[in-house]
């Protein structure tokens, strides 16, 4: 994992150097420190809770999607054409670092998307299962068939959806 993270972090250093033609050691040092901090902290997750995370790689593809809005290949999974909000988001930005929701947004409280809450018959008249979560991600329909108002739409492969749902089960 750390090797993979280092592999992905290396181009960042290369880019930073490219931006700084006169390879200044003064600039390189903080960049290297940052890279070290990021790669040695794979499991830290977010400290603040709701901001987009600069870290690009987490332990699994599902967690990476949840926390960054991109998959492990770096593909942005938000369908920006279909989204009212044109800035790329992660699930964690709106639903929180632990998926439990609770913030106010679009005049409503953002719901929990932890699988155990989504699938709880006490919380949803039609409990979510994997297929209903996939339908939500494809068509912005809630489990009872009503239209969700989130401002964001997604375009994910079946594998990305499966990996993301597997991660929601760990929350």
Q: C-alpha angle with apex 74: 159 to 42, nearest 5 degrees?
A: 90
C-alpha 134/C-alpha 160 separation (Å) is 10
Q: Does 91 bind ligand HEC (CB under 6 A)?
A: yes
Residues 46-85 contacting ligand HEC, CB under 6 A: 85
User: What Å distances lie between residue 10 and 37, 58, 67, CA to CA?
Assistant: 14, 16, 21
- To which H or E segment does residue 4 belong? helix 2-19
Instruction: Work out which of 38, 110, 153, 171 binds ligand HEC, going by CB under 6 A.
Output: 110
DSSP string, 53-90: PS----SSHHHHHHHHSB-TT--B-B-TTT-SS-S---
Convert residues 5-44 into a mask of x (bound to ligand HEC by CB under 6 A) and - (unbound).
Answer: ----------------------------------------
Binding track over 117-156 against ligand HEC, x by CB under 6 A? -x--------------x--x-----xx----xxxxx-x--
Cβ nearer to ligand HEC, comparing 11 with 145:
145
> Strand, helix or coil at 154?
strand
Place of tokens 């998959």: 71
Residue from 10, 44, 87, 106 touching ligand HEC (CB under 6 A): that is 106
Binding positions for ligand HEC, rule: CB under 6 A: 85, 89, 91, 93-95, 105-106, 108, 110-111, 113, 118, 133, 136, 142-143, 148-152, 154, 164
């Amino acid at each position: 994992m750390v090797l993979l993270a280092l592999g992905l972090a290396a181009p960042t250093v290369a880019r930073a150097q490219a931006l700084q033609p006169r390879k200044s050691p003064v600039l390189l040092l903080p960049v290297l420190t940052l890279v070290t901090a990021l790669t040695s902290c794979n499991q830290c997750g977010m400290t603040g809770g709701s901001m987009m995370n600069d870290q690009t790689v987490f332990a699994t593809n599902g967690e990476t999607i949840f926390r960054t809005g991109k998959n492990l290949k770096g593909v942005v999974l938000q369908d920006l054409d279909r989204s009212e909000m044109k800035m790329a988001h992660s699930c964690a930005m709106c639903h929180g670092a632990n998926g439990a929701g609770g913030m106010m947004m679009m005049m409503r409280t953002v719901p929990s998307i932890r699988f155990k809450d989504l699938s709880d018959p006490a919380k949803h008249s039609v409990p979510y299962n994997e297929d209903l979560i996939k339908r939500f991600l494809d068509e912005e329909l809630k489990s009872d068939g009503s239209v969700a108002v989130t401002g964001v739409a997604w375009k994910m492969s079946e594998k990305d959806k499966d990996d993301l749902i597997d991660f929601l089960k760990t929350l």
